[in-house]
Structure 1
């Protein structure tokens, strides 16, 4: 989620969030289910290597907040929001076909596993995507939103500003190679890029669910929010205190200046007031020095 200041050079990192075996296997199983649904019954390569490569990315040592706990939380919030949408069933749909493997696939260079594969697949026409993939003025496409959750911080370096673009390109390469239809791949990449601004259009249900799920951390209890804010500061430990205070304060003011933080009715009802309270409290603490 692009809500932190940028700049500086990262210090040496230790103590990354490494998933416990049980949690790791649970995420792999969720990836497996989502990828099969996204393929719509079509054949494709073994999903497992893609999932393992993605989880390796989410467990990189320089991550504090943007690790596997965040991935799991976003997936859980997507499920919660999908369950509270009006209308037809929003389950992932077909689950037959080859099994296995998390979503974010490889990123750059030899350490990425089988996801780097072909890089220049055909680009889908945006109008065709809007017509072919639910969620653009129509119903939710849960598989696309869940895949976007897997990829939205797959590439993450706190000293760089192009993380979302690189994550979207990774999704395009990996999901095309993994057998996901071109229209859904394009929708996933669009959603990943949307997390730069968290500003979906009014008729963008897929975007609303993903952005609300990503921003749900803002509505934690005061203790949870303080833990989140501390982890963000740890990720930006290379930024001097004054520069971080200025950059973070600007981000908080920008968020508080929005007419609404959340777009879905369920998120606004449950999270808006608490999120604004937390943001206001953090801004006051930063202003006090």
Structure 2
């Protein structure tokens, strides 16, 4: 769902788009660009096909704005993005603004109540890249590394291993539709990257 379509569906005005586009176009971004946001919008729309227009619009706005502030500072970025969205949603009812803010904040832990269908759609769509074809996954992994270029290789290696191990230890996707579409390939991609970084670290296992 386009930004202007979603905002209009929620009774707001779409004038914040140029600022949003400028944010996603910041030169330090490699993966968390407007292309990523658009992909999350697209995949969350697929996952919310049975919901109302208003609910789908709320998810779309959250998807467009969930990484609008991105400085490779986990937690801080999501909170700043939620605050940006709250300020930008002119004319949108407070209940919808609160919901958008809550959805963005849910991406900090990637957790929400099991029956929250809107959060399920956003969180699953945000991780869809993990189940992408190998070349697309590799581009994602390179992009994230470049966004964290301030960290030396040894620090990145340890941190990335910890992240990958955590992801492989949990069920990545909340919905059956997402699990069917992405889970198997995601496990293969994550395992392959984890094996790579363990070799870089010098593991012999």
Is the pair's TM-score, using the shorter chain for normalization, greater than 0.5? yes
Smaller-chain TM-score range? over 0.9
Indicate which of 149, 153, 175 corresponds to 2:63.
149
In structure 1, what is the Cα distance between the partners aligned to 2:150 and 2:65? Answer: 25
Larger Rg: 1
**Does residue 2 of structure 2 align to residue 36 of structure 1?**
no
Q: CA deviation at 1:231?
A: 0.7
Larger relative helix fraction: 2
**Partner of residue 189, structure 2:** 278
CA–CA distance in structure 2, aligned partners of residues 35 and 168 of structure 1: 16
Aligned residues: 200
1:59 corresponds to 2:25: yes
Instruction: Give the counterpart of 1:92 among 53, 77, 81.
Output: 53
Q: Secondary structure at the match of 1:288?
A: helix
Q: Which runs of 5+ in 1 are unaligned?
A: 1-28, 94-140
Residue of structure 1 in register with 2:178 after alignment: 267
Q: How far apart, in 2, do the equivalents of 1:157 and 1:266 lie?
A: 32
Q: What is the TM-score when the length of structure 1 is the normalising length?
A: 0.67
C-alpha separation between the residues in 2 aligned to 1:234 and 1:197?
Answer: 22
Provide Cα deviations, 1:70-126, integer angstroms capped at 9, x if missing partner. 01111110121123x4xxxx3525xxxxxxxxxxxxxxxxxxxxxxxxxxxxxxxxx
Greater relative contact order (CA < 8 Å, ≥ 6 in sequence): 1
TM-score (norm: length of structure 2): 0.93
4+ aligned runs moved over 6 Å, structure 1: none
What is residue 112 of structure 1 aligned with on the other side? Answer: none
Aligned counterparts, 1:118-133, within 5 A: none
Partner Cα separation in structure 1 for residue 126 and residue 87 of structure 2: 23
Q: Counterparts of 2:73 and 2:80 in 1: how far apart (Å)?
A: 14
Instruction: Mark the CA change 1:275 to 1:35 in structure 2 (over 3 Å): closer, same or farther.
Output: same
RMSD: 1.4
- The yes-or-no answer on 1:82 pairing with 2:82 is no
